């Protein structure tokens, strides 16, 4: 499960952002872009967003709901929630190690 998002290659970054946004509830494309910009300070371009959404849906990590006009909301699936948890835990571990080493380095210098 840990490698599910990693297997997306360069889409792993946008995929983590999208799934983190969907962890707060179903959203359509425009709402996803705005939410991601609000919590991550990064505005995904439409092509990147839909490239990642298509790969996540194909991988069964998210699913599309009934379309509301031209907008279709997406939600996290159970396996998507598990994959996101594993990915975020892995990122947290990397961040913890990096921050600890950085503070150790600053303390010794």
Partner 1 sequence: MTGDYFAVWTKLGERWGWRVVPLGLLFWVVLWPVGTVWLLVTALQRYLALDRSSEARTERRVARLLSLYPGDWRARYGDELAELLREAIRDGRGGPGLTINVVRESAATHTSILGRRGVVAVACCSLAWLPIAQGFVPLAIKLTHGTSRAWFLALYLPSAYQWPVIAAMIAVATLMLAVAVRATVVCNRRRQSFEISEPWS
Q: Where on the chain is the footprint of partner 1 (CB under 8 A)? A: 28-30, 33, 43, 45-51, 53-55, 57-58, 64, 67, 70-72
Positive or negative torsion for Cα 98, 99, 100, 104? positive
Which one, 63 or 90, has the nearer CB to partner 1?
Answer: 63
**Least distance (Å) from partner 1 to the CB of residue 27?**
12
What does residue 72 show for φ and ψ, rounded to 5 degrees?
A: -115, 120
CB of 91 to partner 1, least distance (A): 23
Nearer of residues 9 and 25 to partner 1, judged by Cβ: 9
d(CA 4, CA 8): 7
Q: How far is the CB of 10 from partner 1 (least distance, A)?
A: 9
Residue among 75 and 90 whose Cβ is closer to partner 1: 75
User: Given the complex with partner 1, which of 20 and 48 has the nearer CB atom?
Assistant: 48
Residues 6+ positions from 89 with CB-CB distance below 8 Å: none
Least distance to partner 1 from the beta carbon of 39, Å?
19
Q: Return the closest-CA partner of residue 24 out of 90, 73, 70.
A: 73
Q: Crossing angle for the helix pair 46-58 and 12-22, nearest 10 degrees?
A: 80
């Amino acid at each position: 499960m840990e490698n599910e998002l990693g297997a997306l290659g360069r889409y792993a970054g946008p995929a983590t952002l999208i799934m983190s946004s969907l962890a707060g509830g179903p959203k359509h494309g425009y709402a996803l872009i705005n939410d991601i910009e609000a919590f991550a300070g990064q505005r995904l371009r439409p092509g990147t967003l839909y490239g990642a959404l298509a790969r996540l849906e194909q991988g069964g990590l998210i699913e599309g709901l009934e379309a509301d006009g031209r907008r279709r909301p997406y939600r996290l699936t159970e396996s998507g929630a598990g994959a996101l948890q594993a990915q975020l835990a892995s990122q947290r571990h990397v961040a913890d190690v990096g921050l600890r080493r950085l503070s150790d380095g600053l303390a010794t210098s």
